[in-house]
Amino acid sequence: MQVNELIIKTGWKNVTTSSNTSREIEGAFVGDLLSFVMGNGDTDNAWITIQAHINVVAVAVLREFSCVIVCENIDIDKSVIEKANEEDLVIISCSLPIYECSKKLIELGI
Amino acid sequence: MYYDLHIHSCLSPCGNDEMTINNICNMAIIKGLDLISITDHNSTLNLRALKKISESTGIKIIYGVEVQTIEEVHILGYFKTLEEILVFQKWLDDNIIKTKNKPEYFGNQLIVDENDKVINSYDNLLLMSINCNIEECCKTIHKYGGKVVLAHVVDRTNSICTQLGFIPKNLKFDGIEIKNFEQKEKVENIHPWLKNKFWFINSDAHQLIDISERENFISKESLNEFWR
């Protein structure tokens, strides 16, 4: 599934202006400790997290994630969105808790 | 001056109840330390007693607190005066995520006077985060006249490297706390851009026995430089 398809099917919001929405999502990775995500995340995964620090952008780019999904409606600072735009990384904001968000992705066949 | 600038008192739930202010100061004196800081989690309520004991025993102190940011990173805020840190405390009180302590799980949070008498016990859990990101926390410490030292930077829990992967390039801070000199090399290798930072080796003691020995030295000039 592509990132744009996920956005349409879930109604979750792309908070960036990144145009990289045709990227394929091959799977999903859940984690909030960035050191762990840096060491264990897989390319082309959607990364589900409640961490919204600016380092999230660097870690997502490094691991070549297809997008980042920030759960629980957590505030994403303007500086983080600007950095994501610069890197053409899609950050999606979702109101669901991580578990419910993961279930939704499974339901959609990811 | 031989120092240990990261010691928890009985106010920290994880701190041993024997970590009263007299016990800490006297143990530090026995160990030959000249300068200490008591840095409880998100609270400065035992620092009035520390000021009095410092005046009566002559041990030098820095007013400190260990702040937990929303990313669950621990940073140390150091202040020159009690007045400054108490103003900062007001900001901590306004921004900490509030939940009641359960002493049977987390431990006691004891407020003591200069005679080690327990005068109160703090109700809200001090192990919670401040509801602000690390940049905001550092900015606020600076705004109130303090200095920021990143606590135990390569520890597996609550360190900036664990929580955030690495030290963000634009983060404004003053010093880095490590456990030994090998860690300094490790941190410098990952962050070659780090320049003009002060390096501190502290104990992060939660019980008396763990307070540093007379091993880590900072000159008066370096300390003045740190405050500049």
Tens of pLDDT, residue by residue over B22-51, are 999 999 999 999 999 999 999 999 999 999
Mean pLDDT along residues A95-99 = 98
Across the interface, whether the CB atoms of A53 and B162 are under 8 A apart is answered no
Instruction: Check whether B196 has a pLDDT greater than 90.
Output: no
The pLDDT mean for chain B works out to 97
Measure in Å the smallest separation between the Cα of B94 and chain A Cα atoms.
19
Distance (Å) of CA B100 to CA A70, B95, B211: 28, 15, 29
User: What percent of chain B clears pLDDT 70, i.e. is strictly above it?
Assistant: 100
Tens of pLDDT, residue by residue over B136-156, are 999 999 999 999 999 999 998
pLDDT at residue number A90: 98
Structure tokens at A83: 């950095």
Tens of pLDDT, residue by residue over A31-76, are 999 999 999 999 999 999 999 999 999 999 999 999 999 999 999 9
Contacts of A18 (CB under 8 A, 6+ apart): A84, A85, A87, A88, A89, A90, A91
pLDDT at residue number A86: 96
Instruction: Check whether A105 has a pLDDT greater than 90.
Output: yes
Helix axes B134-143, B82-95, angle to 10 degrees: 150
Substitution target from A33, A40, A56 for chain B, most B beta carbons within 10 A: A33
pLDDT at residue number B68: 97
CA angle B225–B227–B228, rounded 5-degree value: 65
CA B68 – CA B72 distance, rounded (Å): 5
Measure in Å the smallest separation between the Cα of B77 and chain A Cα atoms.
20
Structure tokens at B29: 């004196």
CA B127 – CA B159 distance, rounded (Å): 14
Site of tokens 């980042």:
A68
> Quick one: which of A65, A70, A66 has its CA closest to A80?
A70
Instruction: Check whether B195 has a pLDDT greater than 90.
Output: no
